[in-house]
RNA sequence: GCCUCGGUAGCUCAGCGGUUAGAGCUGCGGACUUUUAAUCCGUAGGUCCUGGGUUCGAAUCCCAGCCGGGGCACCA
């Protein structure tokens, strides 16, 4: 044995039996002059190509077509002088190979039995045909180990525990079809969104992740430190203020698909890092950007699922298609409460309503807007399942939105609710730099008073706005949440590698 | 942050004060040339999450902590 090929004895002693045996097999294969990890293999067909080209074969029908195919071993059946092995590709396509002693020879078959385990990558070469039982197969005339797995596969007929799924997604992807599907579904959704934007002549840009002021949303940021300049930096909580700078500079139809970071709670609808789509359209408003959002979601559903009719894991269905419902926040809240709520309703009255409903609202008592939004979420938002635009928000909670064109005290903002969670939000953007400065200064006062989620004042953003931003519609949509809406899974299932606490 | 349920073999789980902690799959040895989670015979594999405590005796009961699921609170 060479030093490179030897597992240190001390480590090997601590290893569970099944891991130790596989390490020993690897070492033995290499010692005997074989390769456990060959650099290249003469692959001529993918598993999918063989299935597509020969799926029609009758049971027992053989061809003279020869293929070299590789895949991960997911089943092994040994009937003595004939072995069956099922190879799986990354998408979950499977193809059987048959190794007969009469074809590969006694030594090659014995080596196959000794060297190949479940989970290994295997290359087989041989004629394509169908077994007597009708299983499409490669009748191997030779085989080669493509990559030796040192760890056993989990049982493939039961799902991994939820913890193992996220901690070892690579295993989850091998074992669970839904995990494989989510990766492709997410990619197809993102592609659909991008292509839709490109068809509309939107320009995709990337704005800073590291920011000296984290603003553009009401959220607590992550902090970090830059050594070269010796300054504290924030991970962005939203791209909004930079996308607006771009609009000021003339990128008048602009979008970004990228990550935001918020240092807050994590649950089935919240992840500390999450993917966000934001888009701004000059000479649009919250109506045009709402229509755009509806089309983006519906087109993504059609492109990725083939339908706007979503079937959830529990079997229930709902439709993302058609014209989405619209409700006005104050009207729907008034209707739900059976009493009129307006921008004139006082904080004391709202607290009284909350108390009658048994809600703890004292920590929200800083202003009218927060109370109205909280009451609305409890009474209306949590129960909205069909996609619904909720329109016209209180001004206090929306410092970046322009005043409603006819209703005093409200702003032209909608939230898009689907299945009880907020999927997207859209504005008629506030472009008056004087009002914008007033709004952010008011937020700064809240921050100074201890509200650590008040929006920060970004002076350079205000200077940019003073160069005049055209009237615009803007929207932001949680990409992970779009996947949730399309699949019914929790946010951590939509993220390939979600943050997981390390074991102690 | 609070409440609640869970953490046992490589994987999925049972056992919930009383012999030496079990099952299925997996592994290892053997039989078998058409299997589909092959079958059959034999066999190995465990800091029972961690640390304290109670007890003649703890995987099991109590306390503290770590990690995870669900719910509440906060947030998108």
**Complex ipTM value:** 0.91
Look over chain A and give the mean of its residue pLDDT values, rounded to a whole number: 91
Please give the protein residue whose CA is closest to the C1' of the nucleotide B37.
A157
Residues 375-434 of A with CB under 7 A from strand B: 421-422
Q: Which nucleotide is nearest to A421 (CA to C1')?
A: B76
Tell me the per-residue pLDDT of A263-301, one tens digit each, with 9 for 90 and over: 887 888 888 999 999 999 999 999 999 999 999 999 999
% of chain A with per-residue pLDDT over 90:
74
- Whether A501 CB is under 7 Å from strand B: yes
pLDDT at A390: 94
Token reading at A301: 């559903």
Residue A490 pLDDT exceeds 90:
no
CA gap A191, A17 in Å, rounded: 45
Residue A1 pLDDT exceeds 80:
no
- Whether A19 CB is under 7 Å from strand B: yes
CA gap A440, A400 in Å, rounded: 8
CA A322 to chain centroid, in Å, comes to 25
pLDDT at A355: 81
**Range with the poorest average pLDDT among A82-96, A283-297, A302-316:** A302-316
Residue A9 pLDDT exceeds 60:
no
Smallest CA-to-CA distance from A462 within A439, A445, A485 is with A439
Interatomic CA–C1' length for residue A84 and nucleotide B11, angstroms: 22
3-state secondary structure A346-413: CHHHHHHHHHHCCCCCHHHCCCHHHHHHHHHHHHCHHHCCCCEEEEEEEHHHCCCECECCCCCCEEEE
Residue A10 banded pLDDT, cuts 50, 70, 90: very low
- Whether A161 CB is under 7 Å from strand B: yes
Smallest CA-to-CA distance from A351 within A342, A343, A362 is with A362
3-state secondary structure of A84: strand
Within A95-142, residue ranges assigned H as helices are 101-104, 106-115
CA gap A275, A259 in Å, rounded: 4
DSSP letter, residue A23: H
Interatomic CA–C1' length for residue A18 and nucleotide B45, angstroms: 8
Interatomic CA–C1' length for residue A161 and nucleotide B49, angstroms: 16
CA distances from A288 to A243, A254, A257, A261, A319 (A): 18, 15, 20, 28, 22
CA gap A339, A358 in Å, rounded: 17
Interatomic CA–C1' length for residue A487 and nucleotide B42, angstroms: 48
Residue A2 banded pLDDT, cuts 50, 70, 90: very low
Residue A504 banded pLDDT, cuts 50, 70, 90: low
Tell me the per-residue pLDDT of A41-58, one tens digit each, with 9 for 90 and over: 999 999 999 999 999 999
CA distances from A450 to A351, A362, A394, A398, A458 (A): 21, 15, 21, 19, 18
Residue A482 banded pLDDT, cuts 50, 70, 90: very high
For strand B, the positions having any atom within 7 A of a protein Cβ are 1, 9-13, 24-29, 31-39, 44-46, 65-76
Kindly state the greatest CA–CA separation across chain A.
90
Return the residue matching tokens 């229930």.
A316
Q: Which nucleotide is nearest to A166 (CA to C1')?
A: B68
Interatomic CA–C1' length for residue A265 and nucleotide B64, angstroms: 25
Interatomic CA–C1' length for residue A459 and nucleotide B66, angstroms: 44
- Whether A488 CB is under 7 Å from strand B: no
Interatomic CA–C1' length for residue A162 and nucleotide B5, angstroms: 14
The arithmetic mean of pLDDT across residues A212-221, rounded, is: 90
Instruction: Provide the whole-model pTM.
Output: 0.92
Tell me the per-residue pLDDT of A247-265, one tens digit each, with 9 for 90 and over: 999 999 999 999 999 988 7
- Whether A79 CB is under 7 Å from strand B: yes
Q: Which nucleotide is nearest to A129 (CA to C1')?
A: B34
The arithmetic mean of pLDDT across residues A416-443, rounded, is: 93
CA distances from A393 to A328, A373, A389, A396, A504 (A): 8, 8, 12, 9, 45
């Amino acid at each position: 044995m060479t030093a490179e090929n030897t597992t240190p004895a001390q480590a090997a002693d601590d290893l569970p039996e099944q891991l130790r045996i596989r390490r020993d097999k690897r070492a033995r294969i290499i010692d005997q002059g074989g390769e456990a990890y060959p650099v290249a293999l003469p692959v001529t067909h993918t598993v999918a190509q063989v299935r597509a080209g020969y799926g029609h074969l009758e049971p027992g029908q053989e061809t003279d077509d020869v293929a070299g195919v590789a895949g991960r071993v997911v089943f092994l059946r040994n009937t003595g002088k004939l072995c069956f092995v099922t190879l799986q590709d990354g998408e979950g396509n499977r193809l059987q190979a048959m190794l007969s002693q009469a074809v590969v020879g006694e030594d090659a078959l014995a080596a196959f039995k000794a060297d190949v385990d479940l989970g290994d990558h295997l290359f087989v070469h041989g004629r394509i045909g169908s077994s007597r039982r009708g299983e499409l197969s490669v009748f191997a005339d030779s085989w080669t180990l493509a990559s030796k797995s040192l760890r056993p596969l989990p049982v493939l007929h039961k799902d991994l525990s939820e913890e193992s799924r996220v901690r070892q997604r690579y295993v989850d992807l091998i074992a669970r079809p839904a995990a494989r599907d989510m990766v492709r579904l997410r990619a197809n959704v993102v592609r659909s969104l991008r292509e839709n934007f490109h068809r509309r002549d939107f320009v995709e840009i990337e704005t800073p992740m590291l920011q000296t002021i984290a603003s553009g949303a009401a959220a607590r940021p992550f902090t970090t430190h830059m050594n070269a300049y010796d300054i504290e930096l924030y991970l962005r909580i939203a791209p909004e203020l930079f996308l607006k700078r771009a609009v000021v500079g003339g990128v008048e139809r602009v979008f970004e698909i990228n990550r935001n970071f918020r240092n807050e709670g994590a649950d089935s609808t919240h992840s500390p890092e999450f993917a966000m789509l934001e888009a701004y359209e000059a000479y649009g408003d919250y109506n045009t950007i709402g229509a755009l959002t509806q089309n983006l979601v519906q087109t993504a559903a059609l492109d990725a699922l083939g339908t706007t009719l979503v079937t959830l894991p529990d079997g229930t269905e709902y439709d993302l298609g058609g014209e989405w419902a619209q409700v006005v926040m104050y009207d729907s809240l008034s209707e739900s409460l059976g009493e009129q709520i307006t921008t004139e309703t006082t904080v004391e009255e709202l607290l009284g309503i909350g108390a009658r409903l048994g809600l703890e609202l004292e920590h929200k008592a800083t202003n009218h807007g927060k109370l109205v939004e909280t009451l609305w979420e409890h009474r209306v938002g949590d129960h909205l399942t069909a996609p619904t635009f909720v329109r016209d928000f209180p001004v206090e909670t929306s410092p970046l939105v322009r005043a409603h064109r006819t209703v005093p005290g409200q702003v032209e903002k909608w939230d898009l609710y689907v299945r009880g969670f907020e999927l997207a939000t859209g504005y008629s953007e506030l472009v008056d730099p004087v009002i914008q400065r007033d709004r952010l200064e008011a937020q700064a006062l809240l921050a100074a008073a201890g509200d650590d989620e008040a929006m920060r004042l970004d002076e350079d953003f205000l200077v940019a706005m003073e160069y005049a931003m055209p009237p615009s519609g803007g929207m932001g949509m949680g990409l992970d949440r779009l996947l949730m809406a399309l699949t019914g899974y929790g946010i951590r299932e939509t993220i390939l590698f979600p943050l997981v606490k390390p074991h102690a």
